[in-house]
Amino acid sequence: MAFAAAQIAVTRPFLGNALSRVSSSRPCQRASVAVRAERPMWYPGAKAPAHLDGSMAGDYGFDPLRIGANKDLLPYYREAELMNGRWAMAAVAGILFTDLFELGNWWEAGAKEYALPTTTLVAIEVVVMAVLEAKRIEGWQKTGETGFLGMFPFDPMGMRSDETRVKELKNGRLAMLAFLGFSSQAAVRGMGPVECLKSHIEDPWHNNIFTSAVGPEVAAAVVAASCWPTFVELYKGFQGDKEEEFRPIPW
């Protein structure tokens, strides 16, 4: 009996400490939940899918097709978005440069004659890009970071931070949309972005995307994009508290 009483006396202080520690840690847990709940979303009040927990830079909870629901493929999708955004930023800068200085139509650059034949240039590009991409992918698979020439991540100027990573993603996404717009202008109107801007400024009511040959299609796309958040909220309202299982893409 004395031994049992001694055991209880010894264990009670430890129980008390454990309880006090748990209670003291609860405010921190509430604070972290509150911060995560208040992170910026792609529209006010949106609920992010379970696989988008805010841990990635530039995550605003936007994945209506649940493309990133496969956690094994999500890192590849993020790397693909990052690389496409970087190429788009380079392309948009080049297009604006050639258009501003009237160096010719950017979409006809491949038809020009250069010092080397086009077939030779293409062969050199394929070999060089294949080697560089193979090294980049190998380094990314080992480190989880994109890089260049053995540096993963590639940051020779020490500019890497959470803020700059988000800015790069935002600018990359805008550049991809801009390149899509430049391509549409070239296909529909046969004009570059600077020339299209000048035309729009001269007569904005008649020279715009809605009065172009694809005006009805663009109007329908704008209406659909504007109504999408409403449809999402209605869907969530009908679902109630059930966990969202919408997976249009099975993989």
Q: Which residue has the higher pLDDT, 151 or 9?
A: 151
- Mean pLDDT of the region 93-108: 94
**Closest to 60 measured CA to CA, from 77, 80, 45, 40:** 40
Residue 190's contacts (CB-CB under 8 Å, 6 or more residues apart) are none
| pLDDT-wise least confident of 76-90, 159-173, 214-228, 231-245 | 231-245
Residue 153's contacts (CB-CB under 8 Å, 6 or more residues apart) are 143, 145, 146, 147, 160
- Mean pLDDT of the region 68-92: 93
State residue 8's pLDDT score.
44
Give 151's strand partners.
148
* DSSP, res 148: B
Q: Domain extents for the chain?
A: 47-190, 203-236
Q: Kindly report the pTM of this predicted structure.
A: 0.74
Cα 104 to Cα 66, 98, 173, 192, distances in angstroms: 41, 7, 26, 9
Taking 70 as the threshold, does the pLDDT of residue 92 lie above it?
A: yes
State residue 12's pLDDT score.
44
Q: Which fold has domain 47-190?
A: Chlorophyll a-b binding protein (1.10.3460)
**Closest to 76 measured CA to CA, from 141, 128, 22:** 141
Taking 50 as the threshold, does the pLDDT of residue 48 lie above it?
A: yes
Q: Which residues are annotated as a binding site for chlorophyll b?
A: 86, 122, 168, 185
Q: Which residues are annotated as a binding site?
A: 81, 86, 116, 122, 167-168, 171, 173, 185, 200
Q: Which residues are annotated as a binding site for chlorophyll a?
A: 81, 116, 167, 171, 173, 200
State residue 5's pLDDT score.
45
Element (H, E) at 219: helix 215-239
Secondary structure E strands in 22-160: none
- Mean pLDDT of the region 104-116: 88
CA atoms within 13 A on the CB side of 110: 3
Angle at 85 between CA 82 and CA 91, to 5 degrees: 145
Q: What is the mean pLDDT of the chain?
A: 81
**Closest to 136 measured CA to CA, from 156, 154, 161, 124:** 154
| 62 — pLDDT class (breaks 50, 70, 90) | confident
| pLDDT-wise least confident of 135-144, 182-191, 213-222, 226-235 | 226-235
- Mean pLDDT of the region 13-23: 42
Q: Which residue has the higher pLDDT, 225 or 3?
A: 225
| pLDDT-wise least confident of 26-40, 158-172, 222-236 | 26-40
How far is residue 235's CA from residue 229's CA, in Å, rounded to a whole number? 10
State residue 6's pLDDT score.
45
**Highest-scoring range by mean pLDDT, 56-65, 69-78, 88-97, 229-238:** 88-97
Percentage of the residues of the chain whose pLDDT score is greater than 70: 79
Taking 90 as the threshold, does the pLDDT of residue 93 lie above it?
A: yes
How far is residue 18's CA from residue 24's CA, in Å, rounded to a whole number? 10
Q: Which long-range contacts (CB under 8 A, 24 or more apart) does 1-4 make?
A: none
